[in-house]
Structure 1
């Protein structure tokens, strides 16, 4: 779902320029959009949630799913019409930029096909955005997609307390970027580059600044987040589990989460963190993609279905209340009916609280696109419908199992009705609480009274 970076409730200066950022895709793109907005604020740009008010529009794009590029070009067509209309009215010129993974993959093509675009900037170079804009102001159309040699995070402005506070009491913290796994269906290694882990000291500083800005819950992000590694204060190699133990010691952090993980990088230290850290929420997104060993091999996942199931059992042994989320692809090239039945059996064996499932779509430049025996679209769709029916039944059963339970909820925002508040459960579900005297940022005990389709209802306990 497309997401819009929210603007702080702050009256801009009369000469302030405004930027509108439209964010497609994953949480990492949301984080990137926020950091781009922070970088632009030092250049006199204030965020706006109204595209018509913007002096600069940035589309922060995702290249994972089918027709990602088409969505971008469609949006650029609308912006072209808006730019012409403004020009006829004698209004200030509108600058348009494309950022993110589509920009990285198709930079020159975007410039060729979309005259409205002034700049194209990749996900590893958005710290250069102010310099790129300066070149655009001089009349250039700029493509900035060469992988940065320098650490982009060192060149970004410090976390802005006011802007962070306006975004809420939960925040993202990117700890790792890129991927070295080269799954045959995935474009990430080609658009985000090789795995790079941010230094421990840099992460601790950013986490403390988030806490100082009022953040209570931090979600660690990475294309392959549990591949994070670095040097600990003792000089020894650290993994994500060690990082979580360290972050849990920071006063003010009430909750920790991380996403997205790869089964091959779930080591014992990380599993132990689920056992030992009350601040680490009992929710894990761990994609498997298929339950067929034959298809997993074709996908280059480098694990078997039984390896995945054994891993889930290990984690649930130490954290019995763990809720699991996953990713699934139906109709990968060569998938037979029996291969699909293996996926159904895995889902039935594991049990998911939520999941993301898609028909396979060939991504240009990936090995999967060149494999033989592509599955007909109608077969992909039939399999997806059956899989989603099963996953939805499991999701409903999980949410119904919470009715009557008492749990701690982090209050995040006012509800739609007077006196109502909306918080977040340990399992990431929104919780609507009536007649609630709590303040945003409080963690209160509630009793779940009803489960909706995508949220829970509760009374204060």
Structure 2
């Protein structure tokens, strides 16, 4: 089992990214339609974004959404295969949902997303616990597939596409706070990291046309949203070329176009790949005050040999060069976060120490930390031996977690006695007398409510901090 480790100090103050591998249930809409759709999403932000696309497609087919699974006619689990733990969670959940058929005999159960792509035969032929299996590139086919199920058949479409970007579909925002929204700019991945299943479950990389992206952002601004996060498995490799070759847009220029939609709109993005992030992107961030001063830059390991085995296509020196560029161009206060895997195939104690020393050099604000477990079908599963004992993986992971706790606290202490601009996202987790939002560096800030409300920008003097949260007083 491979677990996402979240320290307790972070639990009540997670950003959307920190809530990875967590369930999210669709919101309630009642327009008098005859059928109700219920969706649970697992995994990355891209899955949450995909669920909003699915909802939009089925809304046009006569579906409302419900937040109560007991009222649903169709239940979809939008799944993740990146970790074994996520797959196990979905399997347990499917067993439970199947029990609902006793009360709702006509209930349709479907699996969407990466697990659908990877385990279609298991679901339909062996376990027989679902009616419908649909991969990430086949959501337009959902009306036809549901019709097959209505007629008593099992339905499946897990074909991958080299063209599908869902550019013309306006997502229906689920569980939206009305302040922040995800905007998908590309799909798939061309990187073949040896530990990762994404290229096999989401297909090859393709970029969405920039005109549809800008239209979606403009629509969000018109509806009162104050922040967008541009999503892609590797946003830095975004590249669009028009059919006549007259229009070419890379990620830096797309980022600029989005920032120019409204100076009142905050712009974030995820995820960057160390091999592709350019100085041009960094200077674009510096140029626009509304592009947040924060970069998620997964390293996975601090040792060059392990990085080569992971097929990350960069080494330690290259990664540190990119970190140096971020600090030089954007300043020491730019937020940097990372992903790290301990105990990868053949990792030695000295190589593990390289990860800890790299963490000291970079000074990450926070990280997503895992110990390695083999994923079927990956290059590592086929070519490498998972030979680091589980106890060693866990011990190394604990050391990485403790190192990150120290670094997170140190980085948060840098904000003390400084004023940070915070976009209010809602009440704090612990009190309706306090509001919560994020600052430019993607850190959660909690402060007294006073007369402020969701969607406001508030200047907050930081007076205290924990490992996961900044606390302060609003400047009136």
- How would you bin the TM-score normalised by the shorter chain? over 0.9
Give a deviation string over 1:362-418, Cα, whole Å, max 9, x none.
111112113136211111111111111101111122122222221111111234534
For residues 251 and 164 of structure 1, what CA distance do their matches in structure 2 show?
Answer: 23
Task: Tell me the equivalent position of 2:436.
Answer: 422
- Once the two structures are superposed, residues 243-262 of structure 1 have per-residue CA deviations (whole angstroms, 9 ceiling, x without a partner) of 11111111265211111111
Q: Which structure 2 residue ranges, 5 or more long, are not aligned?
A: 1-20
Is 1:5 matched up with 2:40?
no
Aligned with residue 38 of structure 2, among 10, 17, 20:
20
1:34 aligns with 2:48: no
Instruction: Find the counterpart in structure 1 of residue 5 from structure 2.
Output: none
- Work out the CA distance in 1 between the residues paired with 2:379 and 2:305: 16
TM-score calculated relative to the size of structure 2: 0.90
Structure ranking higher on relative contact order (CA contacts 8 Å, 6+ apart): 2
For 1:155 and 1:235, how far apart are their aligned partners in 2? 21
Matched, 1:374 2:374: no
The offset of 1:150, in angstroms, is 5.2
Q: Distance in 1 between matches of 2:179 and 2:410?
A: 29
3-state SS of 2:409 partner: helix
Could you say what secondary structure the match of 1:449 adopts?
A: strand
Using the alignment, how far apart are the partners of 1:229 and 1:57 within structure 2?
A: 36
What corresponds to 1:264 in structure 2?
275
- What SS class does the counterpart of residue 104 from structure 2 fall into? helix
Contact 1:6 1:167 in 2 (8 A): no
Tell me the SS of whatever aligns to 1:423: strand
1:69 aligned partner: 87
Number of aligned residues: 451
Shift of 1:16: 3.4
Q: What stretches of structure 1 of length at least 5 have no aligned partner?
A: 88-92
Match of 1:432 in 2: 446
- 1:273-331: per-residue Cα shift (whole Å, max 9, x none)? 12212111111100111111111111111111011011111111111121110011111
Does the 8 Å CA contact 1:5/1:34 hold for their aligned counterparts? no
Quote the residue 2:406 is aligned against: 393
Q: Give the Å deviation of 1:421.
A: 2.2
Match of 1:325, SS? strand
Question: Residue deviations 1:12-49, cap 9 Å, x none?
Answer: 52x53222211111111111112212222222222222
The equivalent residue for 2:67 is 49
SS at match of 1:243: helix
State whether residues 112 and 133 of structure 2, in contact with CA within 8 Å, keep that contact through their aligned partners in structure 1.
yes
Say which of 192, 195, 206 aligns to 1:185. 195
**Alpha-carbon distance in 2 for matches of 1:166, 1:182:** 33
* Structure 1 residue corresponding to 2:340, chosen from 322, 328, 333: 328
Task: Give matches, 1:435-446, under 5 Å.
Answer: 435-446=449-460
Change (3 A) 1:385 1:192: same
- For the aligned residue pairs, the C-alpha RMSD in angstroms reads 2.0
- Secondary structure of 2:290's counterpart equals coil
- Counterpart among 200, 216, 221 of residue 231 in structure 2: 221
TM (norm. structure 1) is 0.93
Deviation at 1:452, TM superposition (A): 3.4
Structure 1 segment 136-285 matched on structure 2, within 5 A: 136-148=149-161, 151-154=164-167, 156=169, 158-160=170-172, 163=173, 166-231=176-241, 235=246, 237-251=248-262, 253-285=264-296
Report 1:294-313 matches (<5 A): 294-313=305-324
